[in-house]
C-alpha cells in the first residue's frame, strides 16, 4: 500500500522519488542510524523516545509504511492513506496519517510481535 501511495504522490507532483533509498524500510533504518547525532538536519538533541521520533517524521510514505509494517489493520492503513491524499503539504499529510495511526497503535503491535 505504501508503494502505491508513493506512486500517487509522484503522479500528483506532491513527491519526488529521486531519493537515495529503495524502500521505506531502508529509509527508516538509514534515518535512525543518524539519529544518535546531528544527522542530515543538524538536530541538537539526539536523545528522544520512539514516540517523539514517530511524531516528528515529515515523510508521509515513511509514516504510512511504519503503520503497515507494524501490522496495523489494512483498513486503517487505507483510511490513513486517503486522509493523507486529502492534505496538501508533507506536514499535513504526515499529521493526517498519525491521526488515524497514532504511535500507541504501532507500539502495541511491535510489543506483541517482538519486532
What does the pLDDT look like over 15-44, one tens digit per residue?
A: 787 888 889 999 888 877 776 665 656 656
Q: State the number of CA atoms in the 13 A half-sphere of 106 facing the CB.
A: 22
62 near 27, Cβ under 8 Å?
A: yes
Q: Is residue 98 within a helix (H) or strand (E), and if so which, with residue range? A: helix 90-100
Q: Between the CA atoms of 30, 107, 42 and 89, what dihedral angle is there, to the nearest 10 degrees?
A: 90
What lies within 8 Å, CB to CB, of 55 at 6+ separation is 98, 103
Q: State the number of CA atoms in the 13 A half-sphere of 5 facing the CB.
A: 26
Question: What pLDDT score does 59 carry?
Answer: 94
pLDDT over 60 (residue 91): yes
What does the pLDDT look like over 36-58, one tens digit per residue?
A: 665 656 656 667 788 988 999 99
C-alpha cell at 83: 486522509
Q: How far, in Å, CA of 30 to CA of 58, rounded?
A: 15
Q: Hey, where are the domains in the chain?
A: 49-113
Question: What pLDDT score does 11 carry?
Answer: 87
81 near 93, Cβ under 8 Å?
A: no
Amino acid at each position: 500500500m505504501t508503494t502505491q501511495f508513493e506512486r500517487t504522490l509522484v503522479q500528483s507532483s506532491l513527491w519526488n522519488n529521486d531519493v537515495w533509498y529503495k524502500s521505506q524500510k531502508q529509509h527508516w533504518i538509514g534515518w535512525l542510524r543518524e539519529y544518535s547525532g546531528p544527522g542530515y538536519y543538524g538536530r541538537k538533541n539526539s536523545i528522544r523516545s520512539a514516540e517523539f521520533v514517530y511524531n516528528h517524521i515529515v515523510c508521509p510514505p515513511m509514516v504510512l509504511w511504519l503503520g503497515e509494517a507494524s501490522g496495523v489493520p489494512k483498513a486503517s492503513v487505507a483510511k490513513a492513506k486517503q486522509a493523507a491524499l486529502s492534505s496538501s503539504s508533507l506536514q499535513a499529510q504526515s499529521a493526517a496519517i498519525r491521526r488515524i495511526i497514532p504511535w500507541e497503535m504501532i507500539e502495541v503491535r511491535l510489543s506483541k510481535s517482538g519486532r
